[in-house]
Amino acid sequence: MFAPSHFTAVLLFATFASVVFGITQRSTPKAMVRYGLYCWVMFVGVVIAASWVMFLIRR
């Protein structure tokens, strides 16, 4: 059984989804890497921002 922390699950999800988005949504290798990194940063960044919002609401 694999029981990652919530944040580890986010990192895994963002990594795998970003690889697929990068490869399928762009045509050149350079653009794929750039778009994949952009997606990864957006996935993780939005999660961290939403986490802070929820923390501040609960406080």
Q: Would you tell me which residues interact with another protein (CB under 8 A)? A: 1-4, 6, 9, 12-13, 15-17, 19-21, 23-24, 27
Residues 43, 14: contact at Cβ < 8 Å?
Answer: yes
| Smallest separation (angstroms) from another protein to the CB of 35 | 13
Q: Residue 12 or 48: which CB sits closer to another protein?
A: 12
For residue 28, the number of C-alpha atoms closer than 13 Å in the C-beta half-sphere is 3
Q: Residue 4: phi, psi to the nearest 5?
A: -75, 165
In the complex with another protein, which residue's Cβ is closer, 3 or 57?
3
Which token pair is 58? 């609960």
